[in-house]
Structure 1
Amino acid sequence: MLLGAVADDLTGATDLALMLAREGMRTIQVVGVPDEDLDIGDADAIVVALKSRTIAAADAVAQSLAAAEWLIAGGAEQIIFKYCSTFDSTPEGNIGPVLDALQARLAAPLTIACPAFPANGRSVYQGHLFFGDMLLSDSPMKDHPLTPMSDSNLVRVLAAQSRSSVGLVPFKTVDRGAAVIRAAFDKAIDDGHRAVIVDALTDSHLRVIGEALADMRLVTGGSGIALGLPENFRKAGKLRAASGTAAFQVPAGRGVVLAGSCSAATRRQVVAAIASGVPAYKIDPLSIASGKITAQAVVEWIRSVPEPLPLVYSSADPSEVSAAQEALGRQAAGEIVEELLGLVAAELRAQGFHRFIVAGGETSGAVVNALGVPALRIGPEIDPGVPWTVSVGSQPVALALKSGNFGADDFFLKAWNLVA
């Protein structure tokens, strides 16, 4: 193993694994902190997918450190802490506390934070995170049910969460290349900073940033920050000349879409799928809590649909989400949906469904846990940051695990057409 990554949710881990595989690293994604005896074969990179984005900060730190210890024991020379390209967090964490803990464990004098992912419209300029052409605080992320992002200034946001002094490597420095960026890192250390936000507007910026990170023990950011890292190992003669993706074989069986995300992108995808004729079944937390909707009822409806791709969704606009949160509690309103969709997935697999398209990081985690998936192999890309994957084990299933904010409006149909 050359590169090890700790990701704070499942879809983000898949996004990162795809990035590394595309850049030529043999990559495996594991779900949860692996057992000590997990055989990683000839993998160059391992991405550990946690479900730590919205749990208590102390628990997120403990899980992240446990994952990092496993990666270090496996020989990882560099560690990535991967979080969302929209920096999903709150003033209490969890990005800052995990960053601090990993930095202390690795004795890293400096680390960076760069969530930029230009292919999906996420860029950082003058330390501010943009969502397309909008500041993050003006985007739909301001209404996120668990991590509403009301401040786009990442220096300020990270400083509120971290014990470290946070600096900035601005665009004018990044644009001058890797040597100038490395000099900026040295100056940041001299100035007393232990973390720096790094601007990036294009993939070219991410590649030169990656070049400058060759000797940095801990790197943090979105999946885009990994774009330039494999080349460092290649230049050092450590990375074999081979494709990072293996042959992709789709298990036989029916398919289903399970959409738990309430992001604007997923809501558009649900609307587009229904408009195209996909049969759909809407669920909501209040109906689940009252017993009006059960997992068995949802499974029976799915099995009754003759079309190849039924859609079950809880995606709703912010006013509906707020009403459910007020009645059930902020965390519980989401968890009740995730639990039901996990039960649905497990029962469907028992009944011959082996192709799952899942929208939402928390929902994807619930589904994968319910299916008992230990690890994933990366397949073809559907949209930027979202591949098909196949689970490792005796009962493989194909999984397209989509972050709520990712994908074009026709994502569900596009994903299905790749494996139909």
Structure 2
Amino acid sequence: MVDTAGDVTRPLLTFYGDDFTGSTDALEAVAMAGAPAMLFLEPPSPADLARFPGLAAIGVAGTSRSESPAWMDAHLPAIFEKLKALGAPLLHYKTCSTFDSAPDVGNIGRAAEIGRRIFGGSVPCVVGVVRHKRYVVFSNLFAAGSISAAREIFRIDRHPTMSRHPVTPMGEADLRRHLAAQTEASIAGFDFPSMLGPDASAEFEALAATHDIVVLDTFDAATTRAAGRLLGEHGDRRPAFVIGSSGVEYALVDHLTASGRLPIAPPPTARGPVDKLIAGCGSCSPITEAQIAWAENAGFAVIALDTVGLVEDDGPAPRAAVVAAIARALGDHPGVVLHTARGGADPRLAPTREALDRRGLGALDSSAVLGSALGRILRDAVAATGIGRVVLAGGDSSSHAVSAMGVEALAVAGPLVPGAPLCRIHAAEGAIDGVEISLKGGQVGGPDYFARVMAGR
């Protein structure tokens, strides 16, 4: 919390992101509202917190979006307990704003169950993010084709990308029904007429007293402000667990700003341009595919990684060959884009799955294998070239890539595009410490995204 002198005595919020790109989305929401924030790769120790005093928001970037319920049972309780011990009123389990998940992978219902066991009480669920063109009305989710460019809005089960997601396709728009397939918890919706009514606080708490999960509508400024107030009141009664997108952060900081508790510090400002960029793409999204094509037409060198070779041998020699190719390309091009696929029809996909199968791995393991390889290539390329700004595209793969790079923590360096700020790396390895990175999900950015990163605006 914040005392009368403006000092942070305990955090306003802690959060666990189920992937890395989503984690920086939540980090951006609080940092740009003037809340000093840091994103760690593990729950921070007292020594970690001593290095970054005065944090109002503390996050941990995770991988649960691509993990099984058994993995969640084994890993999430200890993480949640450590974050609860930091004393914030709310611990947020941060999901993608498209809420894509399934009973066997990225199970959000299971995460809610674990959180309820640790915190007790009901779990509010906030998913709509107006800034990202995600809207929840009567508990049904609608989303634009992409966060930054597309204007047409789709019900999520008819979304051109998310309804066909290769791992967690969204076949149900009603978030209550979607969660009911993942948990036996009782679920209710708290709709906008009730949220905006004169007895909203009492009605919400009454609903929370009889249901395990409560889904709140969020689709405009009024419902966002109301959701933030209800979350704040809920957490002030007793420490609470909440699930949902960065809509949680945007709603909460809206409420805290209106009540005079934010800003605590000036928000980061735009970083400005760089003359060279390296981007690593592990996303099959058509949005990312279009961004790669734009970059190629704009003079970037585009390098298709040998994904079968990376599955079979991610050793120093193959990495050195790629790093050498990157260094050569930077001499003649403004930037380099590495990619493991150009859309869902890339001819490498089938042989890569076969290579994974030969190793006794499944399709779900591709993010870990290829993401880790991409991270090690990027780390070595930064060390070899001295480049100061990089990109990782792909929600699942970037989680593993950042870990493989040796990143210890991230802070927002400056705004860029909604959902993908420029962050500053904190790491023990000097070559990457201080490097700026943007982590981009598959639905983020317009076609000229890589140029936007280079421009730093």
TM over 0.5: yes
2:388 match: secondary structure: strand
Task: State the Cα distance separating 1:304 from its structure 2 match.
Answer: 0.8
- Alignment partner of 1:172 is 2:197: no
Q: Map residues 233-312 of structure 1 onto 2, 5 A cutoff.
A: 239=261, 241-243=263-265, 245-246=267-268, 254-283=276-305, 285-289=307-311, 294-305=318-329, 306=331, 307-312=333-338
The letter of the residue matching 1:183 is A
Structure 1 residue corresponding to 2:114, chosen from 97, 101, 105: 101
Structure 2 residue corresponding to 1:323, chosen from 350, 353, 360: 350
More displaced 10-residue stretch of structure 1: 316-325 or 396-405: 316-325
1:188/1:194 contact within 8 Å kept: no
Q: Which residue of 2 aligns with 1:4?
A: 14
Measured in 2, the distance between the counterparts of 1:346 and 1:295 equals 10
Measured in 2, the distance between the counterparts of 1:252 and 1:414 equals 10
Task: State the Cα distance separating 1:361 from its structure 2 match.
Answer: 1.9
The one-character-per-residue Cα deviations of 1:275-310 (angstroms, maximum 9, x if unpaired) are: 222110122533534669932332121111122311
Q: Map residues 118-267 of structure 1 onto 2, 5 A cutoff.
A: 118-132=130-144, 133-139=153-159, 140-174=161-195, 176=196, 179-189=198-208, 192-216=210-234, 217-230=240-253, 239=261, 241-243=263-265, 245-246=267-268, 254-267=276-289
Task: State the Cα distance separating 1:403 from its structure 2 match.
Answer: 1.3
Which segments of 5 or more consecutive residues in structure 2 lack a partner in the other structure? 1-10, 145-152, 235-239, 357-361
When residues 71 and 336 of structure 1 are mapped into structure 2, their CA distance, relative to the original with a 3 A threshold, is closer
- Alignment partner of 1:87 is 2:120: no
- Alignment partner of 1:337 is 2:370: yes
Measured in 2, the distance between the counterparts of 1:143 and 1:316 equals 16
The one-character-per-residue Cα deviations of 1:17-39 (angstroms, maximum 9, x if unpaired) are: 11011222111111133335322
Q: Which residue of 2 aligns with 1:115?
A: 127
Which segments of 5 or more consecutive residues in structure 1 lack a partner in the other structure? none
More displaced 10-residue stretch of structure 1: 2-11 or 57-66: 57-66
1:3/1:46 contact within 8 Å kept: yes
Q: Which residue of 2 aligns with 1:396?
A: 434
TM-score by length of 2: 0.83
Measured in 2, the distance between the counterparts of 1:364 and 1:274 equals 22
The one-character-per-residue Cα deviations of 1:150-176 (angstroms, maximum 9, x if unpaired) are: 2222111111212310111123333x2
When residues 48 and 271 of structure 1 are mapped into structure 2, their CA distance, relative to the original with a 3 A threshold, is same
When residues 47 and 291 of structure 1 are mapped into structure 2, their CA distance, relative to the original with a 3 A threshold, is closer
Q: Percent identity?
A: 27
The one-character-per-residue Cα deviations of 1:287-336 (angstroms, maximum 9, x if unpaired) are: 53466993233212111112231111123333447635752331233333
Task: State the Cα distance separating 1:401 from its structure 2 match.
Answer: 0.8
Measured in 1, the distance between the counterparts of 2:102 and 2:66 equals 9
Task: State the Cα distance separating 1:253 from its structure 2 match.
Answer: 9.2
Measured in 1, the distance between the counterparts of 2:269 and 2:77 equals 33
Q: Which residue of 1 aligns with 2:449?
A: 411
RMSD of Structure 2 on Structure 1 (CA): 2.6
Task: State the Cα distance separating 1:188 from its structure 2 match.
Answer: 1.8
Measured in 2, the distance between the counterparts of 1:296 and 1:153 equals 48
More displaced 10-residue stretch of structure 1: 357-366 or 399-408: 357-366
Measured in 2, the distance between the counterparts of 1:73 and 1:81 equals 15
When residues 113 and 181 of structure 1 are mapped into structure 2, their CA distance, relative to the original with a 3 A threshold, is same
When residues 150 and 41 of structure 1 are mapped into structure 2, their CA distance, relative to the original with a 3 A threshold, is same
When residues 185 and 322 of structure 1 are mapped into structure 2, their CA distance, relative to the original with a 3 A threshold, is farther
Task: State the Cα distance separating 1:99 from its structure 2 match.
Answer: 0.9
1:377/1:389 contact within 8 Å kept: yes
Q: Which residue of 1 aligns with 2:418?
A: 384
1:34/1:67 contact within 8 Å kept: no
1:282/1:314 contact within 8 Å kept: yes
When residues 289 and 212 of structure 1 are mapped into structure 2, their CA distance, relative to the original with a 3 A threshold, is closer
2:232 match: secondary structure: coil
Task: State the Cα distance separating 1:354 from its structure 2 match.
Answer: 3.1
Measured in 1, the distance between the counterparts of 2:394 and 2:412 equals 18
The letter of the residue matching 1:117 is V
1:212 match: secondary structure: helix
The letter of the residue matching 2:296 is I
1:280 match: secondary structure: strand
- Alignment partner of 1:45 is 2:64: no
When residues 338 and 189 of structure 1 are mapped into structure 2, their CA distance, relative to the original with a 3 A threshold, is closer
Measured in 2, the distance between the counterparts of 1:347 and 1:356 equals 12
Measured in 1, the distance between the counterparts of 2:309 and 2:162 equals 26
The letter of the residue matching 1:201 is F
Q: Map residues 69-80 of structure 1 onto 2, 5 A cutoff.
A: 69-80=81-92
Measured in 1, the distance between the counterparts of 2:377 and 2:388 equals 13
